[in-house]
A and B are shown apart, each in its own frame.
Chain A
Amino acid sequence: MKRRDVLALALPGAAAQAIAATAAPAARAMPAPWRIFAVTYRGRTDVERGFADYFAARALPVEITWRDIALDPARLPAVVDEIRRARPHLVHTWGTGVTLGVAGRWDAPDDGRHVRDLPVVFSLVASPVGAGIVPDVHAPGRPVTGVSHVASLAVQLQTMASYRPFRAVGMLHSPNEPNSAAVLKELQALGRQRGIAVLARPFHVNAGGQPIPAGAPELVRQLRSDGAEWLYMPPDSFLSTQARDIVVPAALALGLPAFASTEQLMSAGALLGLVSRYYNVGQFAAYKAERILAGKVPADRIPVETLTRFSLQIDLGVARRLGVLPPLEMFNYAELIGDAGKASLP
């Protein structure tokens, strides 16, 4: 192992990034670019922009092949087949569903329908252990590693409580997403500990078991009438696609403040969020990819990590509409979006 890799191994996340950034990439002399397959769920996001920018900024020769499943998991097997034939140097995956579709569960036998022998780096998997992607974030045990983007649930609850204390929280989730099930279980455990009622409603599903948007506003209304004081929006892939147009407007109309666990949910109009910047998540994933490709560190030796800093975001426009302005103290550290001045005009 080269010396800078030893350094990078010894240091967590951001510090390692800084050190790696100052060291000259060993790859510059390499003539042929590394071939990367990047699989997305709903087109390219800031994650992919951060991922690609990282290689460009460091002048690392990569050739990225983009594949998008356009919200449809049925398209995954074809993409996996293509990857297995093309045998790229590395695969980058977006979100829990895509990552599971590409790499499979760690404890499942190799059924020939997943990528098992190529390094996979994922982004935006909220609960890699809960979803069964790796057995342990510190020791993936297989060539699959990546970046988580969600703050610990306990910290998220604390953030909600410091904005506005509550006794009951509602959560809307997709019944077919393992990650959401894991979050719900943890939320219920924390709720029991702290005497907070956790009210959960799954989206309705179609005949194929896929969640559908129909009836979602009614589900939000039920949460509200059951006593929910916050709508907690977990890092749920389907919810992320429905938040802006259906879920958040329904909550807002009922005067129910929404809390976002991801940047995408925050931008859908939530009141408050504790989020990782997608762009930074992509960059961090690219850094891990670089260690695998240029640093020759086996992927199973690279831990799954979360960014060390989260942004506390508040939408002041939403705060005005709901009539719940942020506590004074939060002006010290929150990132304020939306324009309260304008919103307060008639």
Chain B
Amino acid sequence: MSAARTEPQRLQSRLVATILAAVMLGMLGVTWATQHALQDLLRPELQRKAGVVGGSVGELVGKALDHGLELPELAGVAAHLDAVRREHPELAWIALRDDAGAVLFSSGRDDGTRGVAVPVVHLGRPVGAVETQVSDAWIRHILLEAALDLGVVFVVAIFLTRELLHTFVGAGAAASTGTADGAPVLARLRLPLFLFMLAEESTRAFLPGFAKALAPAGSALSPDLLAALPIVAFMLVVALGQPVLATWSERAGARRILLRGALLGVAGSAGAALAAHVGTFIAWRGLCGLGYGMVFVAGQGLVLQHTTAAGRTRGFALFVGAIMAAAVCGPPIGGMLAEHLGPRAGFGLAAAFAAAAWLAARGLPADGSHASPAPPAPAPRDYARVFAQGRFLWVTALAAVPAKLVLAGSVFYLVPLYVAAAGASPSVAGRAMMLYAVALVLVLPRATHWVERGVPLARMVGAGLCVSALGGFALLAGDGVLPVYLVTALLGLGQGLSIAAQSSLLSQVCAAEIAAHGSGPAFGAYRLLERLGNASGPVVAGAFAMLAGPSSAFVAMAALVLACGLSFLLLARRAAP
């Protein structure tokens, strides 16, 4: 492709690179300045707050003294100080001293630095003091959090800029070169597609937590399992709707279906934002799934319509590119918004993104009659024939389905729940999910390159699956949110490896089937099973979480997927062509 680059394309690449470099420089500057400002302002602000907290403890002690109690005989002081420190994690140490300065009660570890002392007053004279020390570890934690947030904004900004440049520069360049293969339409398709996927992705970081919070007290299902149902409803509608929607999109016109799908997305997200009961919330999420299925199918249809066989790979690369960019940007944006304004605002943002997608899609050309027909959806007997093939089952049941199972179960479902249970905000979950997408984006081109170089496909699929499972075992080493980053990063890495090789492997093992019946039935059945894997992931993970808690659920999912990956590799010797 690079050999045939035209002058405008070279210009375009340079322009993109320059703008990206400018954005990166700007972001670095902002990051540096913010860190400095925080360092200077944070400590005095925290010390002022520590003084206020100490003052309120002192007041309570004063109240007890007013009732005739003496300082040394007070009961439950250490427990109270512990509770205060739990509520104010920025305090490293808090102590009650008597008038001679001796520490009577304390909580935390005294680091020897001078803290903030507030006198305890009884009958108008000081009888002791409450002293607080601000935790250096906490300040470091805040600064790290801020740096990570800025890092996330940094990555998101780069992807967003790239996406916008693709839209505008791509459309302009394609128009000026006048290429015949529908490139202007594809360039215009990218923005609405990206925006719609962004709407969906932006809810991931807080969706299960929101569903869990809606669970009624005393429900027959455990809240953890209830939290899985909205994801399941969404995925199930997408999986089962796909064959029907593809035929419909072809008949009714892809542009029209895309616009309607986007509107359903607006309605579904707005409904989710306002849902008061978990049942209605699940229903709204099902509607979002329908909208998603329609947009997805219509987008594919448009690519098919506006590309020749030669340009199709590039067309689908654009399609996947938009989805990946949304997967990088959506979760952290939604997570940060939900942290500050709540999950309902997060769904409101999703509705706004979907509305923007609808607006952008209106710019697509009207559906023509020249549509190239999509392959017909497989019939039941096609499924029966395909499912009877051992090697087909080997690739789907042992590799494709477990890969989706762990993606939906661990990343979409467990990560937000676990992060919330660990007391961290949805932006932490969003960050972890971004890490998954970034790892995937970085690995995928390299892995595709290896496939082209002839690395054995089965080995790549199996190894990728095993790698994607490994992160789950990090939860054995410790709690906190750090292991979660490992879970998502390794999952992205492993999935990148296996996704690159999976469909080629399927073409290989089903070569006879494809020669006889075309690729439609085999790939249709493969995608259907994959999507059902998506739908069952949260249920499986939810059951583990209900039985053993979210931390152990990560490990159980990892063990399950690792077992599949190893079996897949063991059977590879017999099954591989």
Contacts and interface: CB of A to CB of B under 8 A. Distances in A.
A328 B68 contact: no
Nearest to B65: A331
A327 interface: yes
A110 B129 CA distance: 69
A327 B67 contact: no
A325 B73 contact: yes
A340 B74 CA distance: 13
A339 interface: yes
Interface string B59-82: 011011001110001111101100
B83 interface: yes
A94 to B, nearest CB: 34
Nearest to B76: A327
A166 to B, nearest CB: 15
A341 B73 contact: no
B67 A316 contact: yes
Contacts of B76: 326-330
A328 B77 contact: yes
A328 B75 contact: yes
Contacts of A331: 60, 63-64, 67
Nearest to A339: B68
Nearest to A338: B67
Interface in A313-336: 316, 324-332, 336
Interface in A152-211: none
Contacts of B75: 324-328
Given A327-B79, A327-B80, A336 B74 contact: no
A344 interface: yes
B251 to A, nearest CB: 52
Nearest to B68: A341
Nearest to B57: A328
A325 B74 contact: yes
Contacts of B77: 328
Interface residues on B, range: 10 to 19
A324 to B, nearest CB: 8
Given A326-B75, A327-B76, A327-B79, A332 B60 contact: yes
Interface centre among A324, A331, A332 (most CB of B within 10 A): A331
B60 A328 contact: yes
Given A341-B67, A344-B68, A329 B79 contact: yes
Nearest to A162: B76
A329 B80 contact: yes
B80 A328 contact: yes
B64 A328 contact: yes
Nearest to A340: B68
B80 A336 contact: no
A324 B76 CA distance: 11
Contacts of A332: 60, 63
A340 B77 CA distance: 18
A299 to B, nearest CB: 30
A249 B77 CA distance: 30
Nearest to A327: B76
Contacts of B68: 316, 339-344
Interface of B: 60-61, 63-64, 67-69, 73-77, 79-80, 83
Interface of A: 316, 324-332, 336, 339-344
Given A329-B80, A340-B67, 18 more contacts: A325-B73, A325-B75, A326-B76, A327-B75, A327-B80, A328-B60, A328-B61, A328-B75, A328-B76, A328-B77, A328-B80, A329-B76, A329-B79, A331-B67, A339-B68, A340-B69, A341-B68, A343-B68
20 contacts: A325-B74, A325-B75, A326-B76, A327-B75, A327-B76, A327-B80, A328-B60, A328-B64, A328-B75, A329-B60, A329-B76, A329-B80, A329-B83, A331-B60, A331-B67, A332-B63, A336-B67, A340-B67, A340-B68, A341-B67
